[in-house]
Amino acid sequence: MQTHEPPAPPTSRAPPEANGPTDGDGHAAASAETAALRAELADCRRRLALLTNLSSTIVYIFDVERRAAEWVSRDVRRELGYTPEELADMGAAVVPFIIHSDDLAVVNARLA
């Protein structure tokens, strides 16, 4: 679980040759399109970090399949009294405490 920085992009599990041309060491050669997408993702991550660091909003990204926190904003300590790590360690049990009661039924159905 990460804190203070938005989640890293998913990594490819395909063999390097499945990702396009390779260099002499067998590594996938980065295309201009891949470089542009990585730059755009880095910019989005920078903006998300800026927004979450400047606001009192709690951002909690939860991986439903793994039942684990992907990322928790640092303001959770000020707003709820827990460190990001403590909140992440609670797993799915934290959902009723951080989801508005009007939305809880939808979230619980998704977790089922």
Residue 61 identity (one-letter amino acid): I
| Token digits of residue 32 | 């201009």
DSSP 34: H
* Per-residue pLDDT reduced to its tens digit, 60-99: 888 888 888 888 888 888 888 989 899 889 888 888 878 8
Cα(99)–Cα(94) distance, rounded to whole angstroms?
A: 9
Alpha carbon distances (Å) from 56 to 35, 51, 53, 103: 33, 9, 8, 20
Q: What pTM did the predictor assign?
A: 0.50
Cα(20)–Cα(28) distance, rounded to whole angstroms?
A: 6
| Neighbouring residues of 106: CB distance < 8 A, sequence distance ≥ 6 | none
Cα(86)–Cα(97) distance, rounded to whole angstroms?
A: 13
Torsion of CA 76, 66, 45, 8, to 10 degrees: 130
**With bands split at pLDDT 50, 70 and 90, how would you rate the model's confidence at 25?**
low
pLDDT value, residue 39: 94
